[in-house]
């Protein structure tokens, strides 16, 4: 059997980082097994449809390097790939279930269902539902005569189609990650399969689509595990062999619990894939990080590109327990991938960011030197601008933390250094000589390096950290460096 997997998001919002990981695991599994990666848009809930969400999903997958084999805009032999365009298919299969006695028409109003639940709650039932017991007292094709049912259908009365869940059965299946799983049908409601607007619910559409699209493996989040018994019942009702199931561990917040949008925002973690795209994160870094968020190859290795991940990925290496989203680890990956890029590879992106920030770049050579000096210091591509702005313009403010190192004698030591480098010619104003002058100055004042280096860095860059200082001074140039030192002494005393 050929491997066919699907990523089936709902366009009710922009692609969450958890959704991107689900897509990634499907993609890696497909490529590892020389299979097919299908994108299916599950847009049956039209009331929650978000304009632009589908395109965001497609753009996010492309940005992350996941090529879609079949899907909207891509085509394929099993389309259409939007559930809203498959309405007739679901109706046909719903009717098939009704005819076989596995589903039924239900004509109850919302008010009548609410009354039933309220009545049961008052009688001591803590979780009343429309099930194998309560359906006997409701208005459906199991309690109404055939003539009454046909009359209601002919009159155009509103109805839903419900799954007829059997009583006191045990549903069992093997999960590729969790092993043997079982559920009692006693805890299940008679799930709505077709809504009153004629659209299918997730459960019917999901099963019909997975079967008709010949999906071999369903790899999805743990939150869908409780829905699987209903899906197994549907497969059994149709007489179909279900695909292999694999339920991925949750992504956990550093503070505990599932990484919800609210928690992520409060902890400074970008929650949607578009945030990473706009933030100029390295896609390879995010992919590498997400791959390890619930999976490992079984050794100490941590850095792998997409091709290597495809070669290594197997479901038996996916963990059952939740994986904590460690943002510092993501930044570690991001740093690694930036450092793997050459200066020439980085230059077009860095140049665009400096130009967006309205900095004038003196020359290509100047930009090259800036990137070289910052290459080992930045964690994100945008830090080339925030950390490197001082190469293009003098600071107007000074970092408050760094100013704590500005002492009463700082102006004296800094001026002594300023006077030494002022005597240098333009040709001698280079990193090696500038470093020698630092040594001379601290020896003459009998102080440590920090006594001069921090005030000098603050004066020139406004920051308490940054690239190797003397090469930076050389690149900025003699007159500009002297002016910045004078300004700092004047402003800071």
What is the set of active-site residues?
261
Distance CA 290, CA 251 (A): 10
Cα dihedral value 93, 98, 99, 102, nearest 10: 100
217-221 vs 36-39, strand pairing mode: unpaired
Distance CA 52, CA 165 (A): 37
Beta-carbon contacts of residue 126 (< 8 Å; ≥ 6 apart): none
Beta-carbon contacts of residue 191 (< 8 Å; ≥ 6 apart): 162, 163, 165, 201, 203, 230
Where do we find the tokens 């109805």?
159
Tokens linked to 172: 């069992």
Distance CA 71, CA 73 (A): 6
Q: Are residues 17 and 272 in contact, defined by beta-carbon separation less than 8 angstroms?
A: yes
Distance CA 397, CA 457 (A): 13
Strand, helix or coil for residue 136: helix
> Is cis: bond before 56, omega within 30 of 0?
no
Residues listed for the chain: 493
Q: Are residues 213 and 38 in contact, defined by beta-carbon separation less than 8 angstroms?
A: yes
The distance between the two most distant Cα atoms of the chain, rounded to a whole number of Å, is: 107
Q: Are residues 324 and 252 in contact, defined by beta-carbon separation less than 8 angstroms?
A: yes
Q: What are phi and psi of 437, to 5 degrees?
A: -70, -30
């Amino acid at each position: 059997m050929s491997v066919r997997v699907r990523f089936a998001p709902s366009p009710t919002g922009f692609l969450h980082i958890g959704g991107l990981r689900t897509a990634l695991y499907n993609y890696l599994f497909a490529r590892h097994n020389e299979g097919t990666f299908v994108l299916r848009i599950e847009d049956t809930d039209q009331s929650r449809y978000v304009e632009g969400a589908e395109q965001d999903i497609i753009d996010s997958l492309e940005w992350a390097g996941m090529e879609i084999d079949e899907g909207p805009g891509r085509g394929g032999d099993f389309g259409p790939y939007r559930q809203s365009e498959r309405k007739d298919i679901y109706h046909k299969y719903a009717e098939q279930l009704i005819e076989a006695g596995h589903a039924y028409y239900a004509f109850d109003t919302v008010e009548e269902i609410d009354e039933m639940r309220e009545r049961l709650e008052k009688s001591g039932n803590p979780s009343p539902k429309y099930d194998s017991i309560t359906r006997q007292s409701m208005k459906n094709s199991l309690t109404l005569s055939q003539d009454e049912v046909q009359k209601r259908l002919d009159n155009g009365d509103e109805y839903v189609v419900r799954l007829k869940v059997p009583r006191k059965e045990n549903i069992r299946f093997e999960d590729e990650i969790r092993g043997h799983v079982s559920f009692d049908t006693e805890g299940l409601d008679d799930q709505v399969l077709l809504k009153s607007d004629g659209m299918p619910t997730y459960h019917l559409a999901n099963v019909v689509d997975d079967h008709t699209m010949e999906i071999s493996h369903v790899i999805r989040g743990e939150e869908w595990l409780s829905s699987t018994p209903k899906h197994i019942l549907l497969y059994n009702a149709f007489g179909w062999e279900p695909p292999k199931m694999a339920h991925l561990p949750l992504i956990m917040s550093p503070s505990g619990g599932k990484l919800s949008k609210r928690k992520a925002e409060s902890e400074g973690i970008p929650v949607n894939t578009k945030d990473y795209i706009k933030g100029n994160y390295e896609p390879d870094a995010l992919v590498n990080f997400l791959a390890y968020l619930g999976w490992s190859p079984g050794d100490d290795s941590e850095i792998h590109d997409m091709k290597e991940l495809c070669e290594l990925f197997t479901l038996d290496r996916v963990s059952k327990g939740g994986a904590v989203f460690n943002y510092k680890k993501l930044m570690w990956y991001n740093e690694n991938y930036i450092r793997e890029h050459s200066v020439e590879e980085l230059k077009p992106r860095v140049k665009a960011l400096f130009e967006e920030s309205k900095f004038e770049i003196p020359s290509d050579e100047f930009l090259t030197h800036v990137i070289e000096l910052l290459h080992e210091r930045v964690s994100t591509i945008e830090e080339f601008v925030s950390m490197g702005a001082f190469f293009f313009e003098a600071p107007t403010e000074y970092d408050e933390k760094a100013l704590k190192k500005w002492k009463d004698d700082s102006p004296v030591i800094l001026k002594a250094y300023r006077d030494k480098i002022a005597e240098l010619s333009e040709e001698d104003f280079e990193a090696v000589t500038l470093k020698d002058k630092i040594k001379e100055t601290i020896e003459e004042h009998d102080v440590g390096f920090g006594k001069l280096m921090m005030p000098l860095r603050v004066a020139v860059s406004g920051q308490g950290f940054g690239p190797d200082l003397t090469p930076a001074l050389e690149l900025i140039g003699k007159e500009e460096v002297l002016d910045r030192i004078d300004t700092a002494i004047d402003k800071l005393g």
